[in-house]
A and B are shown apart, each in its own frame.
Chain A
Amino acid sequence: MSNIIELKNVNKWFDKFQVLKEINLTVTQQEKIVICGPSGSGKSTLIRCINRLEEHQEGQIIVDGNEISEDTKNIEKIRAEVGMVFQQFNLFPHLSILDNCTLAPIWVKKLPKKKAEEIAMENLKRVQIEDQALKFPGQLSGGQQQRCALARALCMEPKIMLFDEPTSALDPEMIKEVLDAMVDLAKAGMTMIVVTHEMGFAKEVADNMIFMDEGRIVEKAKTNDFFANPKSDRTKLFLSQIL
């Protein structure tokens, strides 16, 4: 299958502190990758670079055939094809759930309102909160909000989905409902890059695992190999601590 994302020798600094070191990564279509690692290892920065919420200083990032760089004029077009779900949900609190989902399709993709609402209701149904459509984000539980955030991203009909610790801000009992929605999405064939500590989810869904530490990709392996016999000591230590 063809590569949909390619990172070549990507380096990134926050001032003098190097957060990403020599990152090389290819993602093929419909591949599911789970990135794990200790906090501060650069996982979130890495996926935020893929839709240029962060800028990288060296190396190449190619998404769906377009290289992302400073003079990318159509960065908005690329972002529209890459959905993202955040740790803090980041729903728009001044809009109802339905409007959260239709805003971008109407104003960015220029869909007619009716069509956008149809798509929104479909996606809300998919994550099982269609009955909350007219409420405001503040009236929903954390799990419902995160599922709405997922639906909102899906309404743009993205080719790739990025997840930045989607369950880290949730109460334990709400984690499952969000993960279930993500598993469904994976089964439907979406290309996904997920930063998470939910190893159960990783085992069930991921094709490949990546372990990051101090800005480097320490280990990349097939999911079964990764858990069965990790190669590096750092990975072993990490896995022993969280499993």
Chain B
Amino acid sequence: MNNFNILKPNKENLNSFILIGTFFITLSFIDIFSNTFLDLNITGFLPNFLSYFSPLIIGVFGLHLIRIEYSGNKFLDRINSSINSNFFNSVLTLFIIFVLIKYIPPILNWFIFDADFAGSTKQDCTSEGACWVFVKVWLKRFMYGMYPDAEQWRINIAFLILFVSIGFIFLLPQKFKKYIILYLLFIYPIIALNLISGGVFGLKWIETGAWGGLSLTLIVSAFALIFCFPVGMFLAMGRRSDLPAIRYCSIGFIELWRGVPLITVLFMSAVMFPMFLPDGTFMDKLMRVIIAITLFEAAYMAEVIRGGLQALPRGQYDAGKSLGMGYWRLHFLIILPQALKLVIPGIANTFLALVKDTPLIFVVGLLELAGMIGLAKTNPKWLGMAAEGYVFAGLVFWVICYAMSRYSQNLEKKLSTER
């Protein structure tokens, strides 16, 4: 063996370096595994600090030995170029792998393997993991809030109709699509509201204070989403208007609502707003909250859409005008379709923020999913269940938001007419 220097791997002694390097890497993995799963610290004889980082140090040394450029071995070259190209990358690679090995199993244990699923009281939760019994027992409340058990079928049917209608949008040919969308935007909300609130067709009246849980999250989000979009659009157009009165009103509105925290807006809507109403008139709390969220998010939406309007070249306005289009036709046929397409990511952002802002309606006493969990965890029989509850809420919100995010990405792809 000529030129063999353990610190300077070279191609001539390729095989020996691979052998020694692999040995060290294996050693580091054995160390971390025995540490994590067998409670056995094989480097325990070292000082504390060194012992903690020993797998990393051994592993990085091993990776250093196999870092041989143009070795001719395809597999080795690929590893070297992608995860082991220099000292820093090798540290990063091992660090990430070790963190995953060390922390994924305990999390999985808490979630599934050590968790309790069976039973109906807190006392059934005997193991160390999560107590999903809590979620199971309270699931109805998390879904429907204080809505009476006997009437919950009404909410189910309302949402069933919604999902079936949305299904039809995808199944039916283009020609019927716009009718279903119009129906979903204008007729369905009335049907659903009447069905859920009752008071007509012999259905029992259920006041909005009893609504709650995930269904309330979805109701508030859906209405706010539908309304904040057009309001934001007109505000954006207003802010770019040539008429000073409209322009300054829009600027004032947007800056006012953007400058106030949502929680204050909600509080005002519940406490202050009724004072301005004439005596004897009454506006439902839920409706006030939806209006407040709508206007709040509309201000953000307006700025997002204005960004899109500003990104369009002036030539598009010129071309539309030169074809004899007035302000509204120009905007609805040419400017807005392009501007909105440009800002789909921004619109999706605002929509996601809106959905995740809904838990704040607890300040006016409305309890949607997160609020309901907050209530359940203070129940004397179920104290100490906050982690399970909020993890569950987090998962549900994540599923909803991820679905919306994916949909917006699909929409972006579908509407793209670039080459």
Contacts and interface: CB of A to CB of B under 8 A. Distances in A.
Nearest to A108: B324
A51 B315 CA distance: 14
B325 A104 contact: yes
B319 A92 contact: yes
Interface stretch (A76-84, A122-130, A189-197): A76-84
Nearest to B415: A94
B126 interface: no
A152 interface: yes
A88 B318 CA distance: 11
A38 interface: no
Given A86-B315, A86-B319, A90-B316, A77 B337 contact: no
A76 B324 contact: yes
Contact of B325 (A48, A83, A84, A107): A107
Contact of A108 (B313, B323, B417, B418): B323
Interface residues of B, number: 21
Contacts, number: 70
Given A79-B322, A90-B313, A90-B315, 7 more contacts: A79-B321, A80-B323, A84-B318, A84-B319, A86-B315, A93-B418, A138-B417
A93 B417 contact: yes
Contacts of A111: none
B136 interface: no
B318 A53 contact: yes
Nearest to B315: A90
A20 interface: no
B324 A86 contact: no
B324 A77 contact: yes
A145 to B, nearest CB: 12
Contact of B324 (A48, A80, A91): A80
Nearest to A100: B319
Contact of A153 (B315, B323, B338): B323
Given A107-B333, A138-B417, A138-B418, A79 B316 contact: no
B417 A136 contact: yes
Contacts of B333: 103, 107
A156 B324 contact: yes
A180 B41 CA distance: 85
Given A51-B322, A77-B324, A88 B417 contact: no
A230 B373 CA distance: 88
A108 B325 contact: yes
A138 B419 contact: yes
Contacts of A136: 417
B87 to A, nearest CB: 46
Interface in B387-419: 415, 417-419
B341 interface: yes
A108 B323 CA distance: 8
A72 interface: no
10 contacts: A48-B318, A53-B318, A84-B318, A90-B318, A92-B316, A94-B417, A109-B324, A138-B417, A152-B323, A156-B324
Contacts of B315: 86, 88, 90
Nearest to A51: B322
Contacts of B341: 94
A83 B322 contact: yes
A85 to B, nearest CB: 9
A153 B326 contact: no
Contacts of B115: none
Nearest to B338: A94
A240 B149 CA distance: 92
Nearest to A83: B322
Interface string B311-344: 0010110110111111001000110011001000
A168 interface: no
Contacts of B334: 92, 103
Contacts of B415: 94
A83 B318 CA distance: 11
Contacts of A103: 323, 333-334
A9 interface: no
A76 B330 CA distance: 11
Q: Which of A77, A81, A93, A138 has the most CB of B within 10 A?
A: A93
Interface in B336-358: 337-338, 341
A18 interface: no
Interface in B118-154: none
Interface in A191-236: none
Interface in A67-121: 76-77, 79-84, 86, 88, 90-94, 103-104, 107-109
Residue of A84, A92, A93, A152 contacting most chain B CB atoms (<10 Å): A92
Contacts of B321: 51, 53, 79
A139 interface: yes
Tell me which of B316, B341, B417 has the highest count of chain A C-beta atoms within 10 A of its own C-beta.
B417
